[in-house]
Structure formats: structure tokens, C-alpha cells
Amino acid sequence: MKLKIILVSFIVLSFCKVWSQQIVLESPNKKNVVALYAADSNNKGEWYLKISYQKDKNACEIIPKINLGLSRSDQDFSKELYFLKASKPKMIKEHYTLPFGKKEVRDNEANEVVVSFENPSKAKLNLIIRAYNDGITFRYEFPEKKGSYTMKDEFTSYQIPNKSMRWLEKWNTANEGLYAESSEDKIVQQEWCYPGLFNSIDKSCWYLLHEADLDKNYCGTKLSNTQDLNTYKLTFPDPKDGRGTGESKPIISLPWQSPWRVISIGSLADIVESTLVEDVSTPTRFKTTDWIKPGKVSWNYWSSNHGTKDYKIVCDFTDLAVSMNWPYTLLDWEWDGMTNGGNLEDALKYIHSKGIKPLMWYNSGGDHTWVSSTPKNRMLTHENRVEEFTKLKKLGVAGVKIDFFESEKQNMIQYYLDILEDAAQFEMMVYFHGCIVPRGWSRTYPNLMTYEAVRGAEWYNNGPEFSVTAPEHNTILPFTRNVVGAMDYTPVTFTNSQFPHHTSYGHELALSVIFESPLQHLADRPEGYYELPDEAKSFLKEVPTAWDNTKLIDGYPGKEVTMARQKEGAWYIGGISSSEREEKTKKIKLDFLKEGISYRAVIIADGKHDKDFNSQVMVVDKTSTIEVKLLRRGGFVVSLNPVQK
């Protein structure tokens, strides 16, 4: 157990005992270190954490100060905290499985200590700290058994060295902005979305700031450096969010624990491959999960914004799912106004006759959204949901997409989780859109299949900007947004919607591997897939949406990324570049393959121009290296299947 507790005491003239307190906690692999300090030399006052990273026997201080504390409606828990005790060190060791995500089988271990404080009125506050091999987490706890209070503020804030590179997205309620890179004089003061990515000054490690295990007893927070350029404080929702509905300050009931404050730490590979956000979240109570089925989805909105109003278009996308061996098709908004040869019941009958499972869209409804698109309000209350889910179950609908939440206030967090609980009673999968960034809920509610919360391919419909920014944006998301949970970017489009692509066909194909989402909505029109070469078409039929393992091969945010994902004995590799000027030749070592097994490698890379592919097949093994050429804004995929002897 790698826990050091250092207590130093001395006697002052008044013969009162004063303690200078320091607690140091190391991860099991000794790489991640968190230390607790008092802001002055006595045992009563403000406290803060310091985070360090150990690499090659050299310690790097990555976050010099994390301010701590809370303010409740009845009293303060920040300025005059008296140290009471630190618990005996405890090993956290978990093994669990999820039916989707970066990896099916999850193992994690951490060292934990609970530090107990009291304020001048003797009210108690605990700080629970864990050091994992892939990061540091901490949360607050009020251990008293009863009481209800408004939380006035949370003082958690991260002091980030000015020279540290950072990738952050300007705050917006839908979490659909672009990440911007900055440091020193380029740093902007404003509110920011989760997660935030940072690189240490000496470049030795990376870290990602996020939160996890958010429940009904709190609100979502965001990062803000409006008060201090290099200090990112956790901030409650704006009162104006959700059209002013709901309270911005949460009401808590004791006993209470805050969400985990999560700092993923390590190499870029450590960040990308981490499952820490789900590891610290509450385990599911679901008795069975065999009804939860990841898979690819045909989706008509991108190519025809009102496509679900047209029965014939719905049938065309059902036929696409059949042709591509995809299990699902989504009926997006306005399905209640379907015409042109059939209505909803006719469409569902046709979909089922083809062996495809339907998913259906809903407006979240209520006064929190200005969007009037229908069907609206059918998910708004428990009674509404029970009535609707009862109908959907009889109609053979497998899941729902619910849109336009527009707030992370406590009332909206409660709404999200109420939906998931009610849906589970009907074995109904859920997809949130226009929504919160993942907070680990998929571990607690594994019927939560995916979230939007990203500027995805839908933005090709919104203006010319995304044509230019998408190539770089796509290479940032694997290191930021998609690290913390499923991300339905609605990728892999070859034709154009309202505004054109600048990415190559190889780049688009690679997004099926690069972006992780258990329900992967492939957004192009049917002819966009029917006209592909056989190799690319076969790849999109076969590539999974849930994985046994994930590996970052190489990459850098904003420049390029190459990832490998495993499903059973097969591996799939995807690589993309954002370069506007240079073509690239990449050499990919296959040393992650299993020893003594040969694999049939199908390589589909950029061809002579951005709408062309160059495909080849070869036999490889663990000692092999594959060489591929990428055009500007290009990409490639590789499938690796064991050769049967």
C-alpha cells in the first residue's frame, strides 16, 4: 500500500499544539502522486491538493494547486477546516464488464484515503482521495445522516501553469463547439466544457479534467477561468440555461457525496485508453443486460432533414440497413407526420418485415427547450414515459433517441436519470442528443448507449465552417470528448449534404474505427454506401461498434491519430490526418498482435485523389510493419483477421 502520511507538530508559546499537515498518496504503479497541504502552518484553514507524475524516476509537478471547499446555505466548508484524521489506507480493486465501450472487461485498482475535517461549528466534511494507475480522483462527502441544504458554491479549482498547452471547448449547453489549442498569451478567459486536455510544461505527461458519477443530488458543473487566467474553477449552470427553468444551485440531502473530480493522467495512450470515468461510477443494478445490443444504424436526417416524414425514404434506409447487415434504422423527428405512401404503423411493419429493429426520436419537451418539433412532451413525466414505452414495446421498438435538453441544472440531471430508469423497466435502449457530455452513467445504466454532445457531421448542414474545421476537429476528439464516453458523431459520409467535405474518402471510412459509439449512426444516403468499392463496403458491414480492447498507436491532437481496436480475434485499425499541405506515409508496427498467429490484412487507404481508394491484401504477423500513404486530410483502415490453418 503506497500511502504516506506525514504529521509534524511543534509547541507554541501558548502550549497549544499546532499541526503542519501533509498527506501523500501514490497510485499502485507509483506514477501518479497526490499530496494534501494546508495553506498555512496550522491545522485550521484552507486546504489544497498538488498532483505530480513520476516518469523515468523523474517527478513532474503537473497541477501545483487544486483549491478545495464547499459553501452550503447554512455554513462554509472551505476557509476554516480543522483536520481531524486520515483513514487507514485502503486498496480499491475492481473487475467488471460492460456490453460496449473501449473494452468489455474492465480491471482497475487504486489506493484510497479518506480525510476528515470539521468546521468551526463542528459540522463534518470528508475528502475521499484515490490514486489510480491512470489518474487521480477525489470527491467530497457530508457524512451526517439527515438535513437538506442549498449548495451555494463549490470552490474546487485547478491551477494550471501558464506554459502548459491546453485544448478546451467554449461552454455551450449542447456541448457542440470546437476545441481550441492555447497557452501563455493565447489563453482566453471564459467558461469551458468538459473534458479539458492539458500537456505538462516539460511535455512528459498529459492530463484530462472531467467529472463522473453525477447523480440526482447535484448539478453538472463546467470549468471557468473568468476570475483568474490560469485557474479553472468548477462552476454551476447559468440561471438562463434551459430557458430559465430549474434552479442553478443544487439542493442536496444528507448523507451526500459529490461527483468524482477526475484527472486522467499519463501518456496520450494512457489518456485515450483510460476507462477511469466509468471505473469510478456507480455499478449497475441491472439483473440482466443481454437485451442491450450495440450495432450500426442507418439514419436519414443528414441527407434529408425531414426524411422521416416520407414513408418511401424510411423504406429506402431500411433497405440500406438490410444491404449493409446493420441491425437498426432510426426514425428521426416528425415520424408522427409521416406521409407519401404510409404512416408510422406502415413503416414499422415494413422495417420488421426486413428483420431490422427500429429506433425512434423524441423531443425532450417541456419549457426547457424552445424547439417545437414533434413528437414533443411524450417523455416529460413518469406517466408519459410509461405510456409511451408501453406502446413502443408492443410495436417492437428497440430504443429511443431523446433530444434538446439544453441545461445541466439539477432538475435536468434528475430528468436524464429518470428517463434511463423508466426505459430500463421496458428493456429500452436510450440515446441522448443535444445533451450533456458523458459522466460515467453507462456503467450505472448500461441501456444508455450513446450521446451526441459533439460537433459532428450534422454540422455539414449548418454552414460552410465545418467543411474547413472538420479535419482538425476529428483528430482532437479522440484525445478529448471521446475519451470520457460514447460519442455519436454520425460519421462516415462520402456524398455531400448542404455543404461539402474536405476530408478524403479514406478519412471518412477511418472514422468508423476512430470514433467509439455502441450505436453508431452512419449518416450517408443509401447511394453513398452502395457505390463504394467492394472492400470498403465489406469493411462497413463487418466493423464492430463495441470492443474488447482499444490501443492508441500514435497521434497528436489536431494533427493526426491512429488507433487499433480489437473484437474477439480480429483487429481493426483506423488512421486520419488533418494536414492541409502534406501527404503522409505511415509505418504501422503490428507488435500488439498475438504471438504465433498469422492474420489476413485488408488495407484500404487513400487512392490517387480524395474520392479514390487504394486497397491491398497481405498476410502479416506480430513482427510485420504495414506502410500506408495518406493524402492531405486523408485516412486509412486495416482489418486483421486470423488466418485459419
**What was the pLDDT predicted at 67?**
98
Assess contact for 109 and 133: CB atoms under 8 A: yes
Q: List 158's β-bridge partners, or say none.
A: 66, 232
63 vs 41, higher pLDDT: 63
**71 lies in which domain range?**
3-279
Residue ranges of alpha helices (H) inside 175-298 are 268-273, 276-279
Q: Is the pLDDT of residue 1 over 80?
A: no
CA–CA gap between residue 287 and residue 434 (Å, rounded): 30
DSSP 551-573: EEEEEETTTEEEEEEEETTEEEE
59 vs 37, higher pLDDT: 37
Assess contact for 640 and 600: CB atoms under 8 A: yes
CA–CA gap between residue 84 and residue 86 (Å, rounded): 7
Which pTM value belongs to this model? Answer: 0.96
**CA 472 to each of CA 20, 302, 385, 518: distance values in angstroms, whole numbers, following the listed order:** 48, 21, 40, 24
Q: Is the pLDDT of residue 11 over 80?
A: no
58 pLDDT tier (thresholds 50, 70, 90): confident
Question: Cell 523515468, residue?
Answer: 56
516: its cell numbers: 467509439
Q: Is residue 359 part of a domain?
A: no
Q: Is residue 159 part of a domain?
A: yes
CA–CA gap between residue 628 and residue 637 (Å, rounded): 9
133: its cell numbers: 494507475
The CA-CA-CA angle for residues 633, 634, 640, to 5°, reads 150
C-alpha 468 chain-centroid distance: 24
Amino acid identity, position 202: D
CA–CA gap between residue 45 and residue 243 (Å, rounded): 39
Which CATH number does the domain housing residue 554 bear? 2.60.40.1180
13 CB burial (10 A radius; 0-12, 13-18, 19+): exposed
Average pLDDT of the segment spanning 108-133: 97
139: its cell numbers: 470527491
Q: Is residue 408 part of a domain?
A: no
Q: Is residue 353 part of a domain?
A: no
Average pLDDT of the segment spanning 90-103: 96
Q: Is the pLDDT of residue 572 over 60?
A: yes
The CA-CA-CA angle for residues 590, 594, 595, to 5°, reads 100
The 8-class DSSP code of residue 79 comes to S
2 pLDDT tier (thresholds 50, 70, 90): very low
Q: Is residue 184 part of a domain?
A: yes
Residue where a domain stops, chosen among 263, 279, 295: 279
Q: Is residue 434 part of a domain?
A: no
Task: Provide the terminal-to-terminal Cα distance of the chain, rounded to the nearest Å.
Answer: 47
183: its cell numbers: 497557452
CA–CA gap between residue 251 and residue 149 (Å, rounded): 6
CA–CA gap between residue 362 and residue 343 (Å, rounded): 17
42 pLDDT tier (thresholds 50, 70, 90): confident
Total domains present in the chain: 2
Q: Is residue 463 part of a domain?
A: no
Summarised one tens digit per residue, pLDDT across range 328-369 is 999 999 999 999 999 999 999 999 999 999 999 999 999 999
CA–CA gap between residue 317 and residue 169 (Å, rounded): 34
CA–CA gap between residue 424 and residue 430 (Å, rounded): 9
**CA 563 to each of CA 303, 325, 455, 491: distance values in angstroms, whole numbers, following the listed order:** 28, 24, 21, 16
**What was the pLDDT predicted at 21?**
52
Residue where a domain stops, chosen among 279, 296, 318: 279
116: its cell numbers: 476528515
Q: Is residue 426 part of a domain?
A: no
Residue where a domain stops, chosen among 211, 244, 279: 279
219: its cell numbers: 448539478
**What was the pLDDT predicted at 7?**
36
Of 148, 108, 99, nearest to 252 (Cα)?
A: 148
Of 440, 285, 295, 268, nearest to 356 (Cα)?
A: 295
